[in-house]
Amino acid sequence: MKTRGVLHNELAKAIAKMGHGDMLVVTDRGFPFPRHEMTTCIDVSVGRDLPKVVDVVKVVLEELEIEKVVIAQETKQVSPHVYEAFQGILSTVQNKGNPIEEEIIPHPEFKHLVLNGALEGKEIKVMVKTGEFTPFANIILVSGVDF
Catalytic residue among 20, 36, 81, 112: 20
Which region, left, alpha or beta, applies to residue 119 given φ > 0 means left and ψ of -120 to 50 means alpha?
alpha
* CA separation for the pair 38, 104 (Å, rounded): 24
Identify each DSSP E strand in 20-138 by its residue range.
23-27, 40-43, 66-72, 94-95, 98-99, 101-105, 124-129
Respond yes or no: is residue 107 known to be catalytic: no
Question: What DSSP character marks residue 34?
Answer: P
Q: Which residues are catalytic?
A: 20
